[in-house]
Amino acid sequence: MPARVLDGQQIRDRILSELRPEIDALAEAGCRPGLAAVLVGHDPGSEIYVRNKIQACHSLGLHSEKITPPDSVSTGELLDLVDLLNRRDDIDGILVQLPLPRQVDSRRVLLAVDSAKDVDGFHPYNVGALVAGQPGLVPCTPAGILEILKRSGIPIAGRRAVVLGRSDIVGKPAALLLMHENATVTICHSKTQDLAQVASQADILVAALGRPAMVTGEFIRSGATVIDVGITRLQDSTQVERVFAALPAKIEEFRRKGSLLVGDVHPAEVIERAGAYTPVPGGVGPLTIAMLMSNTVRACRLRRASSLPASPEVVC
């Protein structure tokens, strides 16, 4: 029986529909959540990401601003910009789109963002809050992974979860979130011995390695839930024909488009082995922007807790 597809687009739409009344209530109380996106230069991928984020803000009724310093911007100039945004009361969330130009000290810029406005969840204060299980702003992609599991009815407590990848952006926070939900968590990385054997013991397997189609059937326990965080655009026909050999419709799509997106998990073998999985595209990706919107609303509430009427949290 083919694996169940966990549709990230449907879950995203549910989250956004739940956020709208929360945003309306905040607006009635005199607070319209605001997001500032800092986009340096003209990287095509970054421009698409920021445009999608701004469009999501508009569709929900959030205030948003896109600030576009030139490629030549210095670290000092970006620090001054972040300081200005930190001091603006109408801005609840600050997003500095990566990558930044080589002459910019990205770490200094990210650390300069007020932790209360750090909607990416990268600031050490928010990382510490996540470790301690305290209220804070959680990185968007790991938060989206948890929403997919919960809203799809996938049991977490007592289950064995294996996270492939230890990045600060996905792997580590995803492992912490799963641990807080009472999963038994193993984090794997480039030095893990017998990687496939460790992965194959997971009830929940999170693949965040950044290596296209690396996670083959031998990594997947029969019936496991597989969350594929990776996304790579393949343009080499030999590679496409190897990865999608069992999916002729995908090869035909490649011939029409000239490229195909693939995740870290082998797209044909996951269907045969898993009980449920997130596709690429259409799985984890849509949740990242939804959780950014959620974090912006959450930041607005946390910053103004004493002046706003109580309201239940929609998503964490």
Active-site annotation, residues = 53, 97, 120
CA distances (Å), origin 265, targets 43, 164, 192, 210, 314? 27, 11, 18, 10, 31
Distance CA 277, CA 154 (A): 11
CA atoms of 221 and 252, how far apart (whole Å): 30
Side-chain half-sphere of 12: how many Cα atoms within 13 Å?
19
Which one, of 30, 48, 33, lies nearest residue 233 by Cα? 48
How far apart, in whole angstroms, are the C-alpha atoms of residue 96 and residue 40? 9
Q: Closest Cα to residue 162, out of 132, 202, 189?
A: 202
